[in-house]
């Protein structure tokens, strides 16, 4: 019943988040149920795809009616592991780190930035959003108490691998990397890259044939 996930396609996981976002929005707009085709229309994802994606985890819909949005949100949240709060360590107190530490979107979804780190002594001790900046060398000591398992890397490319190594050494298992480099990490560590320059370059490709 609680869907023991076998082998779930990677693209499916990435879409689940989009479904969840859509479901939250529709709920906020006072809808109680929605059909797969309605969610498909709103997310731009094929309806059969949505049904197949969900079917990996169980049966959540009702023929003739569609999906109960409240229940679907709960299911998706549980599937994604969003039913627990996650503490997050932020490495990098530059412009991007500052923006991320003030970003309320994370907190609203159960991700709480609990500490920030940098190697720049001038930044150590300053406040950044709701947290104080520690020196990176204090990472182990700080996380010994916190036990956070999620890290965000918002440092220059040249410092990113050091940051990743430091995070993984203190027990972090999942990392969101904003540095424009391919990082090395043990296979059991999940790293997701959010490379803004790369995204721009991809956009550029679609503009090229001007």
Which of DNA, a copy of itself, none does residue 93 bind (CB under 5 to 8 Å by kind)? none
From candidates 82, 142, 146, 159, binder to a copy of itself by CB under 8 A: 82
Task: Give which of 182, 185, 176 is closest to 198, Cα–Cα.
Answer: 182
CA gap 75, 69 in Å, rounded:
10
CB of 33 vs a copy of itself, minimal distance in Å: 19
At CA 182, angle to CA 148 and CA 81, rounded to 5?
A: 35
Binding mask 165-194 for a copy of itself (x = CB under 8 A): --------xxxx---xxx-------x-x-x
* Cβ 134 vs Cβ 101: under 8 Å: no
Q: Would you state the structure tokens that stand for residue 127, as one six-digit string?
A: 């406040």
CB of 43 vs DNA, minimal distance in Å: 11
Residues lying near DNA in the complex (CB under 7 A) are found at 9-12, 34-37, 46-49, 51-52, 54-55, 59-67
Q: Are strands 131-135 and 174-177 parallel, antiparallel or unpaired?
A: unpaired
From candidates 3, 71, 80, 162, binder to a copy of itself by CB under 8 A: 80
* DSSP-assigned letter for residue 84: S
CB of 58 vs a copy of itself, minimal distance in Å: 15
Task: Give which of 196, 187, 194 is closest to 168, Cα–Cα.
Answer: 187
CB of 58 vs DNA, minimal distance in Å: 7
The helices-and-strands tally (H runs, E runs) of the chain is 9, 10
Residues that bind a copy of itself (CB under 8 A): 13-14, 16-18, 20-22, 25, 42-44, 79-82, 86, 95-96, 98-100, 102-103, 105-106, 108-109, 111, 149-150, 173-176, 180-182, 190, 192, 194-210
């Amino acid at each position: 019943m609680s869907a023991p996930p076998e082998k779930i396609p990677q693209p499916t996981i990435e879409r689940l988040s989009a479904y969840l976002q859509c479901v939250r929005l529709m709920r906020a707009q006072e809808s109680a149920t929605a059909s797969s085709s309605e969610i498909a229309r709103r997310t731009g994802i094929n309806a059969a795809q949505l049904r197949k994606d969900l079917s990996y985890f169980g049966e959540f819909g009702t023929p003739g009616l569609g999906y109960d949005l409240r229940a679907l949100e709960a299911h998706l949240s549980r599937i994604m592991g969003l039913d627990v709060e996650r503490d997050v360590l932020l490495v990098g107190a530059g412009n991007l780190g500052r923006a991320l530490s003030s970003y309320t979107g994370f907190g609203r979804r159960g991700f709480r930035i609990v500490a920030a780190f940098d190697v720049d002594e001038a930044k150590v001790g300053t406040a950044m959003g709701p947290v104080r900046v520690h020196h990176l060398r204090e990472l182990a000591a700080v996380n010994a108490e916190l036990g956070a398992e999620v890290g965000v890397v918002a440092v220059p490319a040249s410092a990113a691998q050091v940051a990743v190594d430091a995070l993984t050494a203190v027990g972090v298992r999942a990392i969101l990397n904003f540095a424009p480099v391919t990082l090395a990490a043990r296979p059991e560590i999940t790293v997701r890259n959010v490379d803004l320059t790369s995204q721009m370059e991809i956009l550029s490709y679609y503009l090229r044939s001007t």
